Structure 1
Amino acid sequence: MSLINSTLVFSQEHTRIDSLRGHLTHIRTCYDVTFYDLDVAIDEQEKSIERSSNTIHFTALSNFNWFQIDLAFNMEVLLVEFEGTQLEFARESDAVYIYFNREIKKGEQTSIKVWYGGYPREAVNPPWDGGFSWKKDKNNKPWIGVSCQGLGASVWWPNKDHQSDEPDSMRIKVAARSPLKIVANGDLRSDTSVWNQYFNSWMNVSEWFVSYPINNYNVTLNIGDYVHFSDNYISDNDTLRLDYYVLNGNEKKAKAHFEQVKPMMKCFENYFGKYPFWKDGYALVETPYLGMEHQSAIAYGNNYLPGYHGNVRFIDNLDFDYIIVMNLDMSGGAILLQQTI
């Protein structure tokens, strides 16, 4: 009887919201995402996402006239554009149902542009209980990051939020008030500054390109008073770019601490094969939370200490940084896992 009671007390009730997120219904399996073009403007003063969009490119896998995408219910869908017109849409919790004005035919390749904005969930205990981290560094400069593995990427941008479907590649464009620096996934394509009337401010606009399939939760942005330095890892006459983005004032200790990256990379390559995102490079980005295996832009927040926040007892008193090792391992493992799904 006590076992039954315990089960009743601690079991979690399955809800309609769980089904909307987890089930692959016909309005999700009818299309395959091929490319995301994410364009985000961050207002660090309001802790909001403003006048942003994601263009979702897809291939139809069957005939349909409506499908589902996902965006957290506290975020607002402003409008959906398709072939020069605005589409009707409806919401059920975090699900967004898009109604096309014609039948989409199997094999057709097309896209919709979803305009959105709002106040994304603020992280409670990142990265485990994630969301946006709106912090200040030791110089009182804004320091912003996002972690969403447990919540799903639709907590901050509209997408098909199911691990069975990834874009083949992705563009990420982020705007933030100058002089803040922006780091996202993939290869940096451009950094520009423009006057934005809506923000009444000069905005730094940073464009990044991801050349490989990417899990939605691995898509990230980092904003802060960053300093950049780089190195190279040589393997079989090929060069992997190593980029490091650290807070202003931490460059000296970061250069010394990150010397362990190259021997770690050599060890992983020996046992597990070549780093899987070679064209996009490898980056460590200092973050206001402990870490996360964000593809080609690994979040690092272990304070330049060995082990886990300086605790080396569980790694046999060795002096390597557990967060660097773990998140490279998991970043590479993410694509290998996805290939088996």
Structure 2
Amino acid sequence: MAQAGEESISCADNRERSWWDVREYRLTVNFDLDRRQLNGEVTIRAAVVGKSPGVLQIDLQEPMTLTGATLAGADRRPLSFSRINGHSYHIKGDFDAAGTGSFTLQLSFSGQPAEALRAPWDGGVVYARDSAGRHWWAVACQDIGASVWFPCKDVPFDEPDSVTLSYTVPEYYTAVGNGMPDQQVFNEMERTTTFTWKVRNPVNLYNITFYIGDYARMKSSYKGIKGRLPITYYCLSGHEGRARRQFRQVQPMLQCFEQKIGPYPFYADGFKIVEAPYLGMEHQGAIAYGNRYGNGYLGKDRSGSGVGLLFDFIIVHESGHEWFGNSITASDVAYSWIQEGFTSYTETILAECLFGKEQAYSYQRGKRAIILNDLPPEGTPGQCDGGSGDHYDKSAFMIHTLRTIMRDDERFYAMLRQMTDTFRHRIVDGKTIERFLLDWTGNVISPAFFDQYLRTAAIPVLCLEKSAAGYAVYWDNAVPGFRMPVLLYADGREVWVTVSTEPVPVRELHLDTEWIRLSEDILADIKFL
């Protein structure tokens, strides 16, 4: 647990962060696999966007250690630095002495990164071995942050425009990174190989990654909306047959997603799936895969409908993040519902493309049973608060509800395509996405729709009150101003009615109506009074 005040130091903007903007990382790391040690250098090219207080914050979590800091230039001036807590350092200097509006900072670091014991949920490096006893390493740091293994400005609201990764590993091992391969150099004296990768698009810090193992490589390509997309699969040696069979799902998935939600966002960086020693992670252009080459979620159907066993959950979910999370990025973990809610809904979209709308809706309805309703899905900004785990499936059901009440699937998918285009490679907050969705739905819902589903844990209750005059409906367990249409089935008839927190009569519901049911595609409960 973080000490008092450390949440804001690690998650919020501050005077040591706000005045500079990262444009590029160039990361060079030597991996000592037997000693579990990393030694490396990172070059940070940044723009000055405000008045410098003469100090900047660099994040590097213990037990990793910053060993040197230099300001690039003619005299390569060394800089003084000090650790301020277990997460970060302050580095002092005249960063814009030349008046160019930019600077280049060179940092050296070393140590043994914290081990992830329950990756991807706890975060850190997974120091695994394959079935032959060979080293098999990977990193997962979405929650804990990229500073668990290299020094950086570890905030979600400042992405580099490009990244170069150079990883040196012992011979016979392969080191895979994000982006496209640039070069591979073997050092005969050291008996090591350096693999260099280049990322040409903006990338989240937690998505910068490495995989080290005895990998086999399989290459393919996809003819997509924006041309040829290079595809590469890395699996452990000996797993080639299983990988080829399971990864046949990738091309139909990409075709579905491009049709429904827009072009793949990172053509210049390709698409990779890499076998990992943990379940999965949405590393940009290098998806971590550990689902044992089987369908479902480790062989289980999270929806209980049977549909979840028709596709590989990890391939679909983690790839969906390329659009929602990697291209469209939440500015704070409080808004994780943007990334996880829309990505979780891509599972339903994939099911619809491949198996039809009825099967897709069955899958989506089945996932209501795993919604917890324990805490609001949206957390508190600036406090490292990602909200409830419901930011996955409850947020996805909120999106499904929105689709249902829009009553126009073509417009719904047009909205998603416009969303991925408008906010492509952008960092956004929750309100920005809420305004976008409201604009597309007109006055069908009130802004309180998002207050209800994101900022409370409560499920609204549709109350049907019967009297001699007929039926009246209103919302209970709802926030002030909550207004939303609902679909009712009355003796087999579809009845749409817009409901607020004040009772309104429903003339379509007759006193002799024998049965009334609320649509399963709306996230609400019903109560008869």
Separation in 2 of the partners of 1:320 and 1:281?
Answer: 23
Contact 1:181 1:226 in 2 (8 A): yes
132, 154, 167: which is aligned to 2:160?
A: 167
Residue identity in the other structure for 1:90: S
162, 175, 179: which is aligned to 2:172?
A: 179
1:149 matched to 2:142: yes
1:86 matched to 2:78: yes
Q: Secondary structure at the match of 1:29?
A: coil
1:332 matched to 2:323: yes
User: Match for residue 74 of structure 1?
Assistant: 63
User: Match for residue 45 of structure 2?
Assistant: 57
User: Match for residue 106 of structure 2?
Assistant: 113
1:18 matched to 2:7: yes
Contact 2:96 2:103 in 1 (8 A): no
Q: Secondary structure at the match of 2:133?
A: coil
Separation in 2 of the partners of 1:292 and 1:313?
Answer: 18
User: Match for residue 211 of structure 1?
Assistant: 200
Q: Secondary structure at the match of 1:223?
A: strand
1:284-335 deviation per Cα after TM superposition (whole angstroms, max 9, x unaligned) = 0000000000000000000101000111352632321000000011232112
User: Match for residue 3 of structure 1?
Assistant: none
Output the TM-score relative to the length of structure 2. Answer: 0.60
User: Match for residue 322 of structure 1?
Assistant: 313
User: Match for residue 232 of structure 1?
Assistant: 221
Residue identity in the other structure for 1:125: R
Contact 2:56 2:92 in 1 (8 A): yes
Separation in 2 of the partners of 1:47 and 1:13?
Answer: 25
264, 287, 290: which is aligned to 1:301?
A: 290
Contact 2:225 2:263 in 1 (8 A): no
User: Match for residue 5 of structure 1?
Assistant: none
Q: Secondary structure at the match of 1:320?
A: coil
Residue identity in the other structure for 2:26: D
Contact 1:88 1:98 in 2 (8 A): yes
Separation in 2 of the partners of 1:38 and 1:315?
Answer: 44
1:130-182 deviation per Cα after TM superposition (whole angstroms, max 9, x unaligned) = 11111111111110000000100000000000111010111011111111011
User: Match for residue 24 of structure 2?
Assistant: 35
- The change in CA–CA distance for 1:249 and 1:133 in structure 2 (over 3 A counts) is same
Q: Secondary structure at the match of 2:142?
A: coil
Q: Choose between structure 1 and 2 for higher RCO, CA contacts under 8 A separated by at least 6 residues.
A: 1
Question: Deviation of residue 66 (structure 1)?
Answer: 1.4
Question: Deviation of residue 195 (structure 1)?
Answer: 4.3
Q: Secondary structure at the match of 1:27?
A: coil
Question: Deviation of residue 337 (structure 1)?
Answer: 2.8
Separation in 1 of the partners of 2:171 and 2:210?
Answer: 16
Separation in 2 of the partners of 1:162 and 1:104?
Answer: 26
User: Match for residue 140 of structure 1?
Assistant: 133
Separation in 1 of the partners of 2:130 and 2:89?
Answer: 37
Note the residue ranges of structure 2 that are not aligned, 5 or more in a row.
331-425, 430-529
Residue identity in the other structure for 1:49: L
CA RMSD of aligned residues (A): 1.7
Q: How many residues align?
A: 325
Q: Secondary structure at the match of 2:61?
A: coil
1:52-86 deviation per Cα after TM superposition (whole angstroms, max 9, x unaligned) = 01101000012322111111131111110113121
Question: Deviation of residue 235 (structure 1)?
Answer: 2.0
Q: Secondary structure at the match of 1:337?
A: strand
Separation in 1 of the partners of 2:173 and 2:60?
Answer: 27
Residue identity in the other structure for 2:17: R
1:188-242 deviation per Cα after TM superposition (whole angstroms, max 9, x unaligned) = 001111146xxxx411100000011000000000000000011111124711111
Residue identity in the other structure for 1:81: T
- Percent of counterpart pairs with the same letter? 33
Greater fraction of residues in helix: 2
User: Match for residue 88 of structure 2?
Assistant: 95
Residue identity in the other structure for 1:212: N
Q: Secondary structure at the match of 2:16?
A: helix
Output the TM-score relative to the length of structure 1. Answer: 0.91
User: Match for residue 250 of structure 2?
Assistant: 261
Runs of 4+ in 1 over 4 A off after TM superposition: 101-107
Structure 1 range deviating more: 112-121 or 312-321: 312-321
Greater fraction of residues in strand: 1
1:245-278 deviation per Cα after TM superposition (whole angstroms, max 9, x unaligned) = 0000000111111001000111111111001011
Q: Secondary structure at the match of 2:57?
A: strand
User: Match for residue 233 of structure 2?
Assistant: 244
Contact 1:193 1:202 in 2 (8 A): yes
Separation in 1 of the partners of 2:70 and 2:230?
Answer: 38
Separation in 2 of the partners of 1:145 and 1:130?
Answer: 11
Separation in 1 of the partners of 2:97 and 2:179?
Answer: 32
Contact 1:31 1:61 in 2 (8 A): yes
Separation in 1 of the partners of 2:323 and 2:36?
Answer: 32
Separation in 1 of the partners of 2:138 and 2:121?
Answer: 14
- The change in CA–CA distance for 1:107 and 1:27 in structure 2 (over 3 A counts) is farther
